[in-house]
Chains A and B, each alone.
Chain A
Amino acid sequence: DVKVTQSSRYLVKRTGEKVFLECVQDMDHENMFWYRQDPGLGLRLIYFSYDVKMKEKGDIPEGYSVSREKKERFSLILESASTNQTSMYLCASSLVQERQQYFGPGTRLTVT
């Protein structure tokens, strides 16, 4: 079974802190994605990556950056956390030829 893990289930940070969210997949997937999920807004794509060291902006990249140094790991970075970044963050991965995405359990981030 494909497994996508995220570093934390719950995280509380203060405004202005630098925050790292880690995602690891164990099935050699080329594609990896970061979403945020907010009530009434559904899932919105923040960034995605097709390969190591490659990244592309999604629909809402402002205030975020990403890093993919190894194929299995995709990190989301909040350079200076703000209260409007309080949300559920979901990581996903997929094979190019398969198209379905496998999701991690999510990280509920609260910025106070």
Chain B
Amino acid sequence: SQQGEEDPQALSIQEGENATMNCSYKTSINNLQWYRQNSGRGLVHLILIRSNEREKHSGRLRVTLDTSKKSSSLLITASRAADTASYFCATDVYNQGGKLIFGQGTELSVKP
């Protein structure tokens, strides 16, 4: 399996519900980042969590990091139709000079 595997591959929820996406990785990291991509567009950075942090919040986003399990989760609370997008985790691997390794992404669909 690859560094930065995401689960689930696709998620469909109703507006107002919470959405949780998970990411697992294999090697030591400096930080883990989450990005969002609207259909056919570039990626937009959402949040970065450092290897010595366990939880981070940004608006309706909550990210957790468990380095012992090599996993992270992204929670979007009170989802909106505008949150419909693909979400990617990316690991900034230790000693790789800033290269990121991206997961394959979770496709989130929020129905109004």
Whether B112 sits at the interface, judged by CB under 8 Å, is: no
Please measure, in the bound complex, the distance between the C-alpha atom of A45 and the C-alpha atom of B96, giving whole angstroms.
13
Number of interface residues of A (CB under 8 A): 26
Whether B59 sits at the interface, judged by CB under 8 Å, is: no
Closest to B31 in A: A99
Chain B interface secondary structure, helix, strand, loop or mixed?
strand
Question: B88 near A96 (CB under 8 angstroms)?
Answer: no
Give the chain A neighbours of B30 by CB distance below 8 A.
99
Whether B104 sits at the interface, judged by CB under 8 Å, is: yes
Closest to A42 in B: B104
Whether A74 sits at the interface, judged by CB under 8 Å, is: no
Give the chain A neighbours of B43 by CB distance below 8 A.
43, 90, 92, 101, 103
Please measure, in the bound complex, the distance between the C-alpha atom of A31 and the C-alpha atom of B105, giving whole angstroms.
24
Chain A interface secondary structure, helix, strand, loop or mixed?
strand
Give the chain A neighbours of B56 by CB distance below 8 A.
none
Interface size classification for chain B: 20 to 34
Give the chain B neighbours of A96 by CB distance below 8 A.
98
Please measure, in the bound complex, the distance between the C-alpha atom of A104 and the C-alpha atom of B99, giving whole angstroms.
17
Give the chain B neighbours of A106 by CB distance below 8 A.
40-42
Whether B102 sits at the interface, judged by CB under 8 Å, is: yes
| Other-chain contact of B98, A40, A94, A104 (Cβ < 8 Å) | A94
Question: B88 near A100 (CB under 8 angstroms)?
Answer: no
Whether A50 sits at the interface, judged by CB under 8 Å, is: yes
Question: B48 near A103 (CB under 8 angstroms)?
Answer: no
Whether B84 sits at the interface, judged by CB under 8 Å, is: no
Give the chain B neighbours of A64 by CB distance below 8 A.
none
Question: B103 near A50 (CB under 8 angstroms)?
Answer: no
Instruction: Specify which of A42, A50, A103 lies most central, judged by the most chain B CB atoms within 10 Å of its CB.
Output: A42
Give the chain B neighbours of A48 by CB distance below 8 A.
99
Instruction: Specify which of A43, A94, A105, A106 lies most central, judged by the most chain B CB atoms within 10 Å of its CB.
Output: A43
Please measure, in the bound complex, the distance between the C-alpha atom of A4 and the C-alpha atom of B103, giving whole angstroms.
22
Q: Interface 1/0s, chain A 86-112, versus B by CB < 8 A?
A: 001010101010011111111010000
Q: Interface 1/0s, chain A 74-94, versus B by CB < 8 A?
A: 000000000000001010101
Closest 7 A/B residue pairs (Cβ) = A103-B42, A42-B104, A43-B102, A103-B43, A100-B45, A105-B42, A106-B42
